[in-house]
């Protein structure tokens, strides 16, 4: 079953009763409910949202990822369950014991999958992708030749229309804002899945920033970034260079957790 994504962008009071999330909306006096076990991602994006401790406890018990946003409506915080799997300590030990050669091979596979998906998206947009296809077979263990960066240079130069003069930079001009938001959603979904699989999201295979609590999530999400890029491309197509975040754009980006992906020629979610 696909878990639900719930977004709150208006004042709300969130409490719980009988394993249900009870949502009181003061602006309209509405009261809504949702089964907590069905929620995979909950996003809090308003300064006047109150959430009770029992709600947080039950959400985390059901491995729900809870995201908080800042005054610019960008995700800045992520709450995850600390006890996500019955064999968690055993899997932590296997992670810690992973050899350097194994980690390099896993990163090689990750980069190859990312570049392949970037090439596929270019093909969908009828953009030449031969340069990326050629790079896939050149990725070595650990990506020692940094094919990922070579692919990125070509990919970002061509994926968006020329009138945007786009440069991928976190604090750069739109649609960087849309990419940042989409990647934050993707990161939360991946981190939640890792915890649910009994893996430690902090311990990465390539990302190793000592200040980053989600290094493995940042590794695993790499091949899925083009799925976010696809949503942003569709937004650009419909809005031109008017790309400041709107509720409609946010709604499209919030569909990311439910997107279909292809694995071994089979559709997966």
Q: What share of the chain is helix, strand, coil (3-state, %, to 5)?
A: 45, 20, 35
* Helices of type H across 78-172: 88-97, 100-124, 130-136, 147-158
Strands 4-8 and 39-44: parallel
Of 145, 158, 170, 174, the closest CA to residue 119 belongs to 158
Dihedral sign of CA atoms 232, 235, 237, 239 in order:
negative
Q: Is 222 annotated as a binding residue?
A: yes
- Residue 62 per-residue DSSP state: T
45 neighbors 82 (Cβ within 8 angstroms): no
252 neighbors 228 (Cβ within 8 angstroms): no
Phi-psi region of 145 (alpha: psi -120 to 50; beta: other; left: phi over 0): alpha
Q: Is 171 annotated as a binding residue?
A: no
Q: Is 148 annotated as a binding residue?
A: yes
Residues that constitute the known binding site for Mn(2+):
148, 207, 222
Residue list, annotated binding site: 148, 207, 222
């Amino acid at each position: 079953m696909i878990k639900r994504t719930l977004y709150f962008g208006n004042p709300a009071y969130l409490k719980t009763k009988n394993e249900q999330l009870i949502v009181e909306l003061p602006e309209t006096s509405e009261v809504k409910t949702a089964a907590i076990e069905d929620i995979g991602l909950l996003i809090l994006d308003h300064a006047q949202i109150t959430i009770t401790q029992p709600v947080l406890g039950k959400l985390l018990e059901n491995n729900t990822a809870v995201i908080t946003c800042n005054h610019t409506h960008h995700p800045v915080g992520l709450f995850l369950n600390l006890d996500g799997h019955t064999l968690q300590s055993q899997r932590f030990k296997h992670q810690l014991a992973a050899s350097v050669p194994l980690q390099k091979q896993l990163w090689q596979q990750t980069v190859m999958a990312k570049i392949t998906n970037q090439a596929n998206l270019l093909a969908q947009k009828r953009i030449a992708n031969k340069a990326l296809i050629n790079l896939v077979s050149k990725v070595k263990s650990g990506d020692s030749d940094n094919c990922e960066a070579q692919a990125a240079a070509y990919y970002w130069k061509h994926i968006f229309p020329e009138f945007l003069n786009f440069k991928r930079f976190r604090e750069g001009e739109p649609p960087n804002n849309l990419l940042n938001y989409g990647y934050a959603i993707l990161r939360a979904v991946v981190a939640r899945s890792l915890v649910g699989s009994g893996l430690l999201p902090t311990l990465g295979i390539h990302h190793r920033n000592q200040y980053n609590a989600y290094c493995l999530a940042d590794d695993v999400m790499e091949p899925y970034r083009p799925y976010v890029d696809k949503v942003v491309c569709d937004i650009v197509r419909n809005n031109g260079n008017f790309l400041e975040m709107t509720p409609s754009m946010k709604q499209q980006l919030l569909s990311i957790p439910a997107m279909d992906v292809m694995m071994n020629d089979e559709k997966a979610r």
